[in-house]
Amino acid sequence: MNEPSYREPRRTKYWPVRIGLVAVALIAASGAWAIREISGQQSETKVFSKYVDASGAISLPDNFETAFVHIGTVAVAPKPDQPVDELHGTYTRPEDLAAFLKDGKFPDGAVLVKEVRSTGNSKLTTGEAAYGAGIKVWFVMIKDSKGRFPENELWGDGWGWGLFEGEDRTKQVAVNYSTECRSCHVPVKKQDWVYTQCYPALNAK
């Protein structure tokens, strides 16, 4: 009798061991891929900004007054016929300013810090003057075009938004950017939510 053309593979006593090794290898490869994926996500967050943690919590840069570039100050009066009572000075990192001057936009991770001070007002030899006095608040914006923190209510419209009160620069007090921050920036929505016309450094040639 002729043997059938197909022969079942010979199974030795080592067959279960081989199957087990293959399964272990597949599981290990899958686990390694998952670890790389998680590590990649964590690494992206770390590289993204040292002022943002893994959950999207924003911190006020400690040394922005000396390490960042002052890009402009806005003098604010409560009404047209009243004297200036606040100075809003805005700062960004040198590399963020360079990127904006090159590309006309802020790159991911760019940081804007607006410092709001009350004013001292007096008559000087140059005339009636208003100058910076005590800190009221600091606002922080961090550029994020990828929507890295969809569950965090302080992130949206391409930015992370933070608020720190003058008496404690370590405590971020804003809760929801859409109700606490966004409305003030609606007039410049088409400018990526930034009042670029108020900052001479952004228009430097």
pLDDT tens, residue order, the chain (205 aa): 444 444 444 555 554 545 454 444 444 445 444 444 444 444 444 558 999 999 999 999 999 999 999 999 999 998 888 889 999 999 999 999 999 999 999 999 999 999 999 999 889 999 988 889 999 999 999 999 999 999 999 999 999 999 999 989 999 999 999 999 999 999 999 999 999 999 999 998 6
The full set of domain ranges for the chain reads: 10-48, 64-203
Dihedrals phi, psi of 9, to nearest 5 degrees: -55, 140
Q: Thinking of the domain 64-203, which architecture would CATH place it in?
A: 3-Layer(bba) Sandwich (3.50)
The three-state DSSP-derived secondary structure of 30-83 is HHHHHHHHHHHHHHHHHHHCCCECCCCCECCCCCHHHHCEEEEEEEECCCCCCC
Question: What residue type is assigned to position 17 of the chain?
Answer: V
The H-or-E segment that residue 98 falls in is: helix 94-103
User: Is the overall model pTM greater than 0.85, yes or no?
Assistant: no
